Amino acid sequence: MNPHAGRGLQDGGGGGDKWPGEAGFRAGRRAFPATRMRRLRTPAAMRELVAETRLEVSDLVAPLFVRDGIDSPAEIGSMPGYVQHTVDSAVAECKHLASLAVPAVIVFGVPASGRKDPEGTTAFDPEGITQRAIGAVREALGESLVVMADLCIDEYTDHGHCGVLDPSGTVDNDATLEIYAKVAVSQARSGAHVVAPSGMMDGQVRAVREALDAAGFAMTAILSYAAKYASALYGPFRDAVDVTIAPGARRGYQQDWRNAREALAEVALDVAEGADLVMVKPALAYLDVIDRVASRSAVPVGAYHVSGEYAMVKAAAEQGWIDGPAVMMEHLTAIKRAGARFVVTYAAREVAEFLAAGHPRG
C-alpha cells in the first residue's frame, strides 16, 4: 500500500469534502502519485508562470516627509534609509521615483519649529510646507506622477492630536471638520491630485467632498483612511513628523484594533460620503481586514505598510537575522494577496530598484 495514498482530496471524516467548495476540483484531480504539486514549483520560470499574485512597481505609493526650515535632508533614526526632505530634495526624489515607474507619492509636511498651534493653522496656509512641496513636485513632473496629500493636522498642532480640542481636552469632531475642509481646498489649489483625510473624524469625507466641489475642485479625488486602527506600530512615523501626543488617547477616534466588522461599516460610510479610494492602516496585522474590505468595497482598496512594520524589517536585517529585501517583498506581496490594489510603503523606492535590477520575486 502506498504510504502517501492518503495525501489527496479525501473525505474529511464528517461526510463532506476535506476542502469545502472544491467538489469540481475533486472530480478533476487524482491523488498522489498521479498528482504531484511540486511539478509547478520548478524551475523558477515555472513558478513565475503560475504565480497567483505579483507585486509590481505600479502597485506602490511612496510617502514623502518634507520639513520646513532645513537646508539638507535629515535622517530619521527610527526609520533606516528614510529622511525628512527639503522641497528641492523631495523634487529630486520624485524624479527618481518616476524614473523607476513608481506611480504615486503621498506628501506629509513637517512645519518649522515654533509654527505649531492649537488648531494646526499652518496645515491650510497657502505658503505652508506641504503646499510648497506639492506645487514644486507638480511643476517639475506635471502629470507623470500622482501627487497625494495626507490630510490631517496632527503634524501642525501643538498637542499632536488629529483634531482641535474642546475645553475638556477631547477632540471636537465637528469643529475639526471645518478645518479639514480648509486643508483640502488648500492642498487642491497647490496641485494635489488626491487628498487623503486620515484623522478618522466622523463625516470627514463628506466635509472634504463638499468643500472641494464648492471651490471648483470636483476632479480632485479623495483617498480615505477609512479603517485606521489605534495601533502601536506608528512610533517611527511620529519621530518622522515630530509629533508628541498630549494626554488623551487616539483610541477615542481611531478604530479599536480588536474589531474587524467595524471596518466594513467605516468603509461603507466613507464610500457613501464620496470617497474615491479607501485604505486600511496598518497592513500586516490587518490582512484579514484588507481581505474583508476588498471583497465588499465598490471602490479601489489600498493598505498602508506603516513605519513600525517597515522599521522591524530594517532592524532585523541590520542584525543579520533576516534577508531584508526578501522579507520586504514577501510582506508587501502578502498585502497585495490579501486584496490591496495599492500599497503605501516606505520601501517603495528600494523595492522598485530591486525589481528593476532583475532580482527574483519569489
Active-site residue list:
228, 281
Whats the size of the chain, residue-wise?
Answer: 362
Query: CB within 8 A of 241, min separation 6: which ones?
Result: 65, 108, 110, 154, 155
> Rounded CA gap, 159 and 246, in Å?
5
**Partners of 17 in the β-ladder:** 11
H helix runs in the chain, sequence order: 23-28, 44-50, 87-99, 129-141, 173-190, 204-214, 235-240, 261-273, 287-296, 307-318, 324-337, 348-356
Alpha-carbon gap, residue 251 to 74, rounded angstroms? 31
C-alpha cell of residue 83: 529622511
> In this structure, are residues 302 and 279 in contact, taking their beta carbons and an 8 Å threshold?
yes
Q: Please list, in sequence order, all residues whose beta carbon lies within 8 angstroms of the beta carbon of residue 31, skipping any fewer than 6 positions away.
A: 5, 7, 8, 9, 10
Angle, alpha carbons 29-32-38 (nearest 5°): 90
Q: Cα(first)–Cα(last) distance of the chain, in Å?
A: 36
Cα gap 249→42, rounded to integer Å: 51
